[in-house]
Amino acid sequence: MRYLILFLVLIYACDRPKDLGNAAPPVEAPFEGLDTIATNDWWNRGENPIIDVKVHRDSVIAFGIYTVSNHILKMSAQLFPLYPEEVRTVRLALKKNGEWVEVQEQNVNDIGWSALFRIKDWDDSVSVPYRLLHGEGATYEGVIRANPESSNEIQLAALSCNSNHDRGDRANYVRNINYQDPDLIFFAGDQSYDHKEHTAAWLKFGMQFRDLFRTRPCITIPDDHDIGQGNIWGEGGKKASSMAGNDGGYFFDPDYVKMVERCQTAHLPDPYDPSPIQQGIGVYYTDLQWGGIDFAIIEDRKFKSGPNGKIPQQGPRPDHIRNPNYDPASIDLPGLVLLGERQLDFLGQWGKERPEMMKAVLSQTGFCGGAHLHGSKDNRLHADLDSNGWPQSGRNKALKLIQEAGAIHIGGDQHISTVIQHGIDEFRDGPWAFIVPASVNDYYGRWWWPEDEQPGPGANDRLPWTGDYMDGFNNKITMHAYANPENQDKGAGYGLIIFDKSADQVTFECWPRTEDVSLEDAEQFLGWPLTISLK
């Protein structure tokens, strides 16, 4: 036994780094009972059930993730947890004239293990190999792509809802999306479903998908599950009374929320207005210009009012309305907020600028009730207040600004993929929206399933229940395509959005998770592709 203990001690000592200087004692967690590996003595804990974090020290850099916009490069380096004696800096090297040149060194945050690089006056006309370095041997390499602004077609791959019901790899997504080679990637939220363990789940997500964003810009925005809640109505950053969050606000410690947002959004372009909200929680809404397309990135949860205590409850939960005979106007009350004045001001200004560019708004979820059945086929909801169909006045303000900008909307969250043209005053007078499917959809399915099982006016011949409908809030919507979960892969997959700049057209593609897009007979979900004109 004595020799076995000595052997294990030697193995542990070999794997731990030598004293590299700049040693740091364990940081005491600012949040109690949350995130066992975000800080503190993580190495004394048992095996992590989400991902093995006790990696060889040559592999301590998990991934890098970056964007380029307006000639500013921003890149986050995400590390596995560090031992106290390891250096707390990461270096960025660029390959110039065939030689690697270290251009920046940044501190690693002891809470969440990420570091941020920012370089102004970035020459985006050429592709540049990059290398992240830590200590004596850890490296991670990729390519900062040249701006494809001279290309007529720009492609965006969009994903959402990476459920922890499947801890496996995402090889099908990596194979397919790299084969299609989009110009940038968008993850619309719920990269993590492990509410109290964001660091491990974020590392898992990064290891699953890093070969997609190793060599192209990537936009990631957190949603409710990422910050530890089943749903979120942020209500300007107030404190919520429960993880359900339906009275508005954030339930977990604001330092935890800030860590999540830092890890997932620090690499985005600088915020339009960085003023924090309540509890010191930050904001990240901004715009990104890439390939001649102008993307507004908004936070459709952060300022939204919570329903509990503000409107009459008409179902088993404050956010679920089961009564089909209720008056929708009775819940569209003065003082209720959706995007908030700050973001409406941003969208209004953004919509007027750069009119020569095609435009898209990226956010977490859709601006209507785009599903009837929730969780199971016997759970029909008349209206779901988690969607951005409510409050209706706030919804219409947002859609008018998106429409005035000539933009489309792309989001996730709903698990079911849909293509809808919104109506504001009349059917089909609002913007088009593509809600992409869940990456993994064996957790909570949703179905588009009108109770009378009849098509609406102006239906197409691709799917049975398309055309004009009123959602449960009396919002006007025109359904063009939907991927119910009994279809291939339970409706799991991803979206590909193709911007044709010369024709001013956008094509929506929706690919099942297990389909091999390199094969000639590869098929999208029934109802796709769709091409729309923005003229």
353 falls within a domain: yes
46 burial class (0-12, 13-18, 19+ CB within 10 angstroms)?
exposed
Q: 168 and 138 share a domain?
A: no
The 10s digit of each residue's pLDDT in 146-187 is: 999 999 999 999 999 999 999 999 999 999 999 999 999 999
Q: How confident is the model at residue 442 (pLDDT cuts 50, 70, 90)?
A: confident
Residue 6: pLDDT above 80? no
27 and 159 together in one domain: no
Given a cut of 70, whether residue 17 has pLDDT beyond it is no
Q: pLDDT band for position 18 (50/70/90)? A: low
Which tokens belong to 45?
């804990």
Domain-located, residue 86: yes
* DSSP-based three-state secondary structure for 117: strand
Residue 427 lies in a domain: yes
Whether the pLDDT of residue 531 is over 80: the answer is yes
Full residue range of the structural domain in which residue 423 is found: 153-188+284-362+364-533
Mark whether 98 and 172 lie in a shared domain. no
State pLDDT tens for residues 101-111. Answer: 999 999 999 89
Asked whether residue 301 falls in the same domain as residue 398, the answer is: yes
Q: Is residue 61 domain-shared with residue 169, that is, in the same domain?
A: no
pLDDT of residue 13: 43
CATH number for the domain that contains residue 180: 3.30.750.180
Tens digits of residue pLDDT in 356-394: 999 999 999 999 999 999 999 999 999 999 999 999 999
Q: What is the pLDDT of residue 2?
A: 46
Minimum mean pLDDT range among 28-42, 118-132, 435-449: 28-42
Quote the DSSP letter at residue 291. Answer: T
Whether 104 and 160 map to the same domain: the answer is: no
For the chain, give the number of residues.
535
Between the CA of residue 39 and those of 21, 23, 26, 33, 230, what are the distances in Å? 19, 15, 7, 12, 25
Q: Is cis: bond before 49, omega within 30 of 0?
A: no
User: For residue 205, which amino acid is it?
Assistant: F
3-state SS track over 349-413? HHHHCCCCCEEEEECCCCCCCCCCEEECCCCECCEECCCCCCCHHHHHHHHHHHHHCCEEEEECC
pLDDT at 487: 67
**523-532: average pLDDT:** 97
SS3 per residue for 1-37: CHHHHHHHHHHHHHHCCCCCCCCCCCCCCCCCCCCCC
**Given 115, 144, 173, which residue is the final one in a domain?**
144
Give the Cα separation of 259 and 76 in Å (integer).
Answer: 13
Look at strands 530-533 and 505-512 and give their pairing: antiparallel
Per-residue exposure over 109-145, b if at least 16 CB sit within 10 Å of its own CB, e if not: bbbbbbbbbebeebebeeebebbbbbbeebebbbebb
Count of structural domains, the chain: 2
pLDDT in tens, 54-74: 999 999 999 999 999 999 999
Q: Is residue 522 part of a domain?
A: yes
**Mean pLDDT across the chain, nearest whole number?**
94
Task: Please compute the mean of the pLDDT values over residues 421-440 and round it to a whole number.
Answer: 98
Measured distance CA(306)–CA(310) in Å, rounded = 8
Nearest to 324 by CA among 238, 437, 190, 452: 452
The alpha carbon of residue 3 and the mean position of all alpha carbons in its chain are separated, in whole angstroms, by 50
| Per-residue confidence band for 7, with pLDDT thresholds at 50, 70 and 90 | very low
Instruction: Report the candidate in 283, 276, 232, 243 with the shortest Cα–Cα distance to residue 261.
Output: 283
Q: What's the pLDDT score for residue 493?
A: 97
C-alpha to C-alpha distance for 2 and 18, rounded to whole angstroms: 25
Helix (H, G, I), strand (E, B) or coil at 199: helix
Distance CA 418, CA 421 (A): 10
Does 169 lie in the same domain as 45? no
What is the predicted pLDDT for the residue at 443? 78
Instruction: Give tens-digit pLDDT for 207-246.
Output: 999 999 999 999 999 999 999 999 999 999 999 999 999 9
* Residue 276 is assigned to a structural domain of this protein: no
Within this chain, do residues 58 and 173 fall inside the same structural domain, yes or no?
no
Statement: residue 98 has pLDDT above 90: yes
In a domain, 207, yes or no: no
Q: Please tell me the distance from the alpha carbon of residue 260 to that of residue 258, in angstroms, as a whole number.
A: 5
Same domain flag for 51 and 175:
no
The full 3-state SS of 233-266, as one line of letters, equals CCHHHCECCCCCCCCCCECCCHHHHHHHHHHHHC
Whole-angstrom distance, CA of residue 324 vs CA of residue 381: 9
Answer for the pair 347, 401: CB distance below 8 angstroms, yes or no: yes
pTM: predicted TM-score of the whole model, two decimal places: 0.95
pLDDT band at 16 (very low <50, low <70, confident <90, very high): low
In a domain, residue 492? The reply is yes
Residues 92, 172 within the same domain? no
Furthest C-alpha separation in the chain = 80
Task: Write down the pLDDT at residue 19.
Answer: 42
Indicate whether 112 and 36 sit together in one domain: yes
Same domain? 157 vs 89 = no
pLDDT (average), residues 181-207 = 97
Per-residue pLDDT tens over the stretch 78-87: 999 999 999 9
Task: Output the domain CATH number for residue 114.
Answer: 2.60.40.10
| pLDDT tens sequence across 270-284 | 999 999 999 999 999
Q: 15-19, 154-158, 468-472 — which is least confidently predicted?
A: 15-19
What stretch of H or E contains 210?
helix 198-213
Please write the tens of the pLDDT for every residue from 317-342. Answer: 999 999 999 999 999 999 999 999 99
In a domain, 456, yes or no: yes
Instruction: Give which of 430, 317, 467 is closest to 382, Cα–Cα.
Output: 317
pLDDT beyond 60 at 455: yes
Q: How confident is the model at residue 304 (pLDDT cuts 50, 70, 90)?
A: very high
